[in-house]
Chain A
Amino acid sequence: MNLYEFEAKEILAQYGIPLPDGRVAQSAAEAEAVAKAMPGHKFAVKAQIMAGGRGLAGGIQMAATPSQVGTIAGKLLGSRLTTPQTRPEGDLVERVYVETAVESEKDFFLAVLVDQATAMINVLGSAAGGVDFEDRVAKDSTIVSALPVRLGGQIADADADAFLSGIGFPAAHLAQGRDIMRAMVKVFVNADATLIEINPLTLTKDGTLCAVDAKMTLDNNSLFRHPEFTGLQSSAAVDEVEMQAQKDEINLVRLDGNIGVVVNGAGLALATQDMLADAGGKAANFMDIRTTATSLQVARGIGILLADPKVKVILVNVHGGGMTPCDTVVEALALALAWSKRKLPLVIRLAGQNAEYALDMLNNRMVAHHRADGIKDAVARAIKLAA
């Protein structure tokens, strides 16, 4: 689960990571009041959306007075921001974060994540923090340094100092840098995060370090042991339909095509999507039915597709195996069709465990469908029917 900047910062503050003064606001008047109560005479007004690339999309604006803060907040709140990381229609801005603007002497990048290859927690650092950091790394990955951290999370002074000096930390700020690194690792472990990123970690003109922007991602698989995160606003920002599907043991991602896709397994789902795209079709969704899903749960998942007005045809591509034999999905399909008033053309391609049995079942239930011979045929038929 990705966190909003203001929620990530609340957690980082609890661990003593230095931040500029700031508070979240949900209306222009509130934003203005927040600014009035803050020290300093220059403010940053930041749209709270999950996606990166906010700054270049106009989601971060500077203000010289509290009334200007109110004006900017009024414009941002309720608008939609489109960045390369959002859907085309953009993300709705429901909150702004009002912060004392700091004058930067130098911008660093610090992050904590698990390196997949070594299965170790790593601190990443760079002297080239700030806007467009990802693009700079893509061009030259050597601008990032990594420090592997032992399982217990301790970092020796000498290791920390060498790492920080290596990314250009001035000697006078090494002690504070060490504290920040260690606090980040502590948050990472205690919160079961998969990513903490401070970019920029700014060394200000008056000689202090502070985390001007922060991104944090929590491990969805660990939320069961973190009741403290249940009230986060970030969890409300997750697509409700996709969340419901999750509860039904289905990984669903909504896309903008017109072919509803029912598939078991992430790999087969990606393969189906590739074949659709190669043949000129567009999937309305990504669906991965997990092996633990019951036919009732799968029926609710198919119901989501039937209820989506842009879906013109449903393509079922299932390879039965394990605890998901083909008949489970066919049972689900019949149920979902019985619940829905909508009649859509169905293209069915089944293989593996109980494929024959499931196809017979479809006939017995009098479910009209196009039976495909292989995935290629299924994809071609679905595209034709969606046109």
Chain B
Amino acid sequence: MSILVDANTRLIVQGMTGRSGTFYADQAMTYGTDVAGGVRPGKGGKRHLGKPLFNTVADAVRETGANASLVLVPAHNAAAAIIEAIEAEVPLIVCVTERIPVLDMVRVKAALKGSKSEMVGANSQGVLAPGVCKIGVMSTTDAKPGPIGIVSRSASLTSEVVASMSKAGLGQSTTIGIGGDPVHGVGFVRCLELFMDDPDTTGVVLVGEIGGAEEEEAAAWLKARKSAKPVAALVVGRHAPAQRRMGHAGTLSVFGSGNANSKIAALKAAGARVASGVDDLPGLMAEALGRH
């Protein structure tokens, strides 16, 4: 089993006919994801990659029974595309698009409140249940099915973690990228909730980085919940110069919050095992699973 996606996930791709839409829709199908069709205003009735195209998300959902959408729409139209999917009550929306304006995401978050949708991203590599379903742009080369849940803010670092876990014989139930933007969909806490409730996940790896306060929030949640499942964590950016912005917009800190050391301290205090580098994660997790 897995979280957010499973064998019954039926996907539509918003922005399917673009360069990246075509590329990733094709890759998802090759991986075995059930792709029902695509959405591209003005191209309804046509076909792309052998699948039907629709003018609107509502049309696509009604005609195909899709229950998930992958949004690969360019940044200036991405928020509108996400809101369209929310209004069509798509249960899972995954947005990969980078560089969406922050105030657009504020509108998206307001639309999500009280809706029937769960959103992953934007600026996320997506959700992967190895061997079952891929919604996103992540590498699948080294992913193996297994009992470890992985939640992270960064794509290529997740691939690195996945590879080292698989090599150590620790396959994954689901890997999720919550995205690198300051305002985004599901966060660490929501993913921890889902993993803790998933009977087939026995341990969780959390990969954080400088900026924001989500690692601290995750730590507070873990402390209050006292979960039976072990959590291993890695927080990167210990040596990033404090005042300069590195990569993810989420790393912009206001009032000096969000440095790596405070995150590491909070996670340790909540009982998580904190690794100093990717290579240490499998050992920490194996050790934790042995004790539990």
Contacts and interface: CB of A to CB of B under 8 A. Distances in A.
Interface of A: 51, 84-85, 113-114, 116-117, 119-121, 134, 137-138, 141, 144, 151, 189, 192, 194-195, 219-222, 224-225, 251, 253, 255, 263-271, 273-278, 286, 288, 290-292, 318-323, 351-353, 374-376
Contacts of A323: 20, 23, 137
Given A117-B213, A221-B100, A270 B236 contact: yes
Contacts, number: 181
Contact of A321 (B105, B137, B256): B137
A335 B249 CA distance: 30
Interface string B249-266: 111101110000000000
Contacts of A277: 238-239
Interface in B76-95: 76
A265 B156 contact: yes
A119 B155 contact: no
A151 B110 contact: yes
A268 B103 contact: no
Given A221-B101, A278-B276, A114 B239 contact: no
A268 B243 contact: no
15 contacts: A114-B183, A141-B255, A192-B102, A221-B249, A225-B76, A265-B156, A267-B153, A267-B158, A278-B277, A290-B98, A319-B156, A321-B125, A323-B137, A352-B163, A353-B141
B247 A138 contact: no
Contact of B102 (A84, A85, A221, A224): A221
A376 B160 CA distance: 13
B237 interface: yes
A251 B154 CA distance: 14
B286 interface: no
B109 interface: yes
Nearest 10 A/B pairs, CB to CB: A267-B154, A266-B247, A321-B139, A265-B156, A267-B157, A119-B109, A277-B239, A322-B137, A270-B236, A222-B101
Nearest to B155: A265
B256 A134 contact: yes
A68 to B, nearest CB: 32
B172 interface: no
B183 A85 contact: no
B137 A274 contact: no
Interface string B149-171: 00011111111100100000000
A268 B109 contact: no
B106 A268 contact: no
Nearest to B210: A270
Interface in B192-220: 207, 209-210, 212-214, 217
Contacts of A274: 236-239, 277
B288 interface: no
Nearest to B152: A267
A256 to B, nearest CB: 9
B291 interface: no
Given A266-B248, A271-B236, A322 B125 contact: yes
Given A251-B247, A321-B125, A322-B137, 8 more contacts: A219-B103, A221-B102, A253-B244, A263-B156, A270-B209, A270-B237, A270-B247, A375-B279
Contacts of B237: 270, 273-274
A85 B247 contact: no
Contacts of A318: 156
A189 B155 contact: no
A309 B155 CA distance: 32
B209 A195 contact: no
Nearest to A85: B243
Contacts of A353: 139, 141
A278 B243 CA distance: 20
Name, among A265, A270, A273, A277, the residue most crowded by chain B CB atoms within 10 Å (CB to CB).
Answer: A270
A266 B180 contact: yes
B76 A224 contact: yes
Contacts of A194: 102, 252
A268 B102 contact: no
